[in-house]
A and B are shown apart, each in its own frame.
Chain A
Amino acid sequence: MIEHEVIIVGAGLAGSWTAMVAGQRGVKDIGVLSKIHPLRSHSGAAQGGIAAALNNARPVAGTGPRGPLEPVPQGEDPPDSPELHMFDTIKGSDWLGDQDAIEIMVNEAPEIIYAYEHMGCVFSRLPDGRIAQRRFGGHSAPRANYAADYTGHVLLHTIHEQALQHGVEFYSEWYCMDLLVEDNVCRGVVAMDVLTGEIHTMRAKAVMFGTGGYGRAFEVTSNAYANTGDGVAIAYNAGVPLMDMEFVQFHPTGLYEHGILMSEACRGEGGYLTNSEDERFMERYAPDKMELAPRDLVSRSEQTEIDEGRGIGPDGKGIYLDLRHLGAEKIKARLPQIRELAIDFVGVDPIDDPIPIQPTAHYSMGGIPTDADGQVIANADGQVIADADGTPVVGFYAAGECACVSVHGANRLGTNSLLEASVFGRRAGHAIADFVQNGAELHPVTGDPAERNRQRVARLMDGAGSESVEAIAQELKQTMTDDCGIYRDKERLAQAMQHVGEMQERFKDARVMDKSKRFNTDVLAAFETEHLLTFSEVIVAGALAREESRGAHYRTDFPKRDDEGWLKHTVAHKGEPGEGPRLSDKGVNIDWDRFPPQERKY
């Protein structure tokens, strides 16, 4: 039995912030588990920037929304504000974001950026030495603070290195398989040491999940192999409800046939989207914001162009991202990684030719419901507690993409994810330090949870069935893409619901090929697939129930937003075996005086 004061699962930006802050606050005994080395975390793949109204850059007066930017001279009125950032985020969320949490995020944004800068993060700079800023979709001011087009990478390395200083114990390549909650109190986790294959019960006074998103449930995705939503599924299996899972963001510019991210910074720097007729088709869908409309709208516009026969490429399922007019110098200085990826993967140099792209599953707005301090908010009956006086899951915290605070609502704006993971990871670190230092205890666990999980591995290795894990995973991804993708309707969703259920049944007969204990990634892939099946059912159930279109969730049979019926979060609780998720809802925090719902036009 391994024991720590605090166990953090996931070592991307959210988990690393929590670890660093708790360490700085004097929590002595922190263990951080990651199924891959911390520096391999997917936060590092974020490219374009991290949002904050620093007021370093502004558009040159009179040049319009696509004109050049200039430094804001010292002493002049700041053109941007947290208030404006807040409004943009709310509008981007299609009014499903909780406005109290959004306000906290935008207000803490500038100091988070300065904290990164003081810790040594290498940002791109303005001529006067301040941090450079660029435009991003859905933001009405240039507030994406960036390091060329590898912003997430430099933030991740910076925060990991700082966390190393605070005596945090890293369990690199340990796979969390189970969350231990009894009587509404979190008691620890079960995890596999991948190197040895040994499975351990790990007790802690507090557990924090920063386990990332679930884009791997889709065929074409920008997500890493690792983004299989493990934490989301594990929490759900432990009786914690999930919120707003039906909101999955498709990024407009994934590399054609690969899905690999081509940063929104391409459009932030002025790139065009064109169809097979060489039209900048966004004129028809968002005449004002054009290519810098929010991602849900741009992806839908692309899909419509493709569906109506104006796509590019051999199968007509692509769109062009044209950067040529930016010129070689700007592309090399601001978008070096994009250029490298386009050359390596599709043989296109963006200086000379347009890049073929397509929409790609990118970000999970839904997840484990938390308050603004990372505290998971569900009571013993699995009901979400809306107010601060309710009973939470004692000692269980979550932040980042696996969590649902909810600041992104129905659609996240670009550059708000690095910000969210940082702000709420940091806040969770403080909350956990308070919790531990105010006399939290280690609680006993019933039975032998490690043994229970050893049996799961044994079934995968020794059972009589012969279903292929990969075949089921592929079928699931195809189903989710075809029937629960950018455009959804009742018929296809009902079909998907049934299909996912069948695949869950088949998975009981799934077997792995690798029977060894040492570094068995075949077993990991099986657990990951089981997790995909677990939460995909929740995505589909939420999408089927939500009879409206809002943000990234678009129902062709209910194409309008319905604030009367659906201005509320979907909450899914695990039902009895064979029953499927039980759905309930939770109100949205709205400041009706300042930011009442409006029509969302760009």
Chain B
Amino acid sequence: MTTNGSRPRMVTVRVQRFNPDVDEKPYFDEFQVELTPAKTILDALHEIKTAQDGSVTYRRSCRHAICGSCAMYVNGKNILVCNTPLRDKIDEEGTVTIRPLPYLPIIKDLVVDRSSFWEQYERVKPWLIPSADVPEKEFRMSSEEVAALNKAETCIMCGACYSACQVIAMNKRYVGPHALLKAFLRVLDPRDMAPSERLADVGDQDGVFRCHTIFNCIDACPKDLDPTKAIETLRKLAQKRQAFEAARRDRQRMLNEPIASS
């Protein structure tokens, strides 16, 4: 019911359903949801789940694009559903089609099994390996050194890039854009003690040299990060590891000292 008496505009939301315990293959259910200006796709899913069919299953938590739970495949693109207005994704037929992230096993409906994604994340040893000899206060880092990380520290591990990657689609041995971005973050961080080992780890055929530079990861990233560029950087560093190692040793000798102003 709207105040001006006109009929509310309804949107058809098509949700891919699949419970492997009972269904032979995935199928679609259609739901009608009223379009309002502030409604996000996650709001629409919540409305469907709580008012129409409680068995519709998806992950969500923070609802403002920081927790990384709700990456899904909507109208042919990986997005976060929490920060995407419903009105922005209505196709010519007045429909929004929601499917789980591609190339990953389906647990139920829109919930996928990210096991391979997390295994690759752990494989690159995502933690910084600090010096055994830490200063009393903080290590000094210049703003340029922080900027060189290219915001890789803001990756929310949603998996949108991973499941958009054509190489991952074919080959789950590939480390993947998310984990290589993490490796990049650690390799570029002047505080990390093992950049050379990291480069050796990711500098093989399952690592940076497997990337085909298709750029799908960049298109898919909801945080506007650039895994492809990070992979290219790692590739170059892997090719000239010795010079890089020497430069890092020099830098770490000064790491407890104020940055000279330029």
Contacts and interface: CB of A to CB of B under 8 A. Distances in A.
A121 to B, nearest CB: 8
Contact of B127 (A42, A164, A340, A522): A164
Contact of A114 (B69, B111, B137, B258): B137
B186 to A, nearest CB: 7
Interface in A251-265: 257-258, 260-261
B49 interface: yes
A195 to B, nearest CB: 7
A595 interface: no
A513 B21 CA distance: 17
A340 B65 contact: yes
Given A114-B137, A120-B189, A125-B146, A516 B61 contact: no
Nearest to A227: B61
A164 B153 CA distance: 17
A522 B154 contact: no
B176 interface: no
Interface of B: 19-22, 38, 40, 49-51, 53-55, 57-69, 83-85, 107-108, 111, 122, 126-128, 130-131, 134, 136-143, 146, 149, 153-154, 156-157, 185-186, 189, 191-192, 258-259, 261
B65 A40 contact: no
A39 B54 contact: no
A275 B185 CA distance: 43
Contacts, number: 168
Contacts of B140: 125, 128-130
B63 A260 contact: yes
Interface string A20-46: 000000000000000011011110110
Contact of A513 (B54, B59, B192): B54
Given A164-B122, A258-B38, A519-B107, A124 B55 contact: no
Contacts of B61: 36, 40, 42, 224-226
Contact of A42 (B19, B51, B67, B130): B67
Contacts of B126: 157, 161, 164
Contacts of B111: 519
Nearest to A346: B38
Interface stretch (A147-155, A396-404, A451-459): A147-155
Given A122-B153, A345-B64, A470-B51, 19 more contacts: A39-B67, A40-B62, A40-B67, A44-B66, A44-B67, A54-B137, A127-B143, A129-B140, A129-B258, A130-B140, A164-B127, A224-B61, A224-B67, A337-B66, A340-B65, A344-B85, A514-B54, A514-B55, A516-B55
Contacts of B68: 39-40
A222 to B, nearest CB: 9
B64 A261 contact: yes
Interface string A181-192: 000000000000
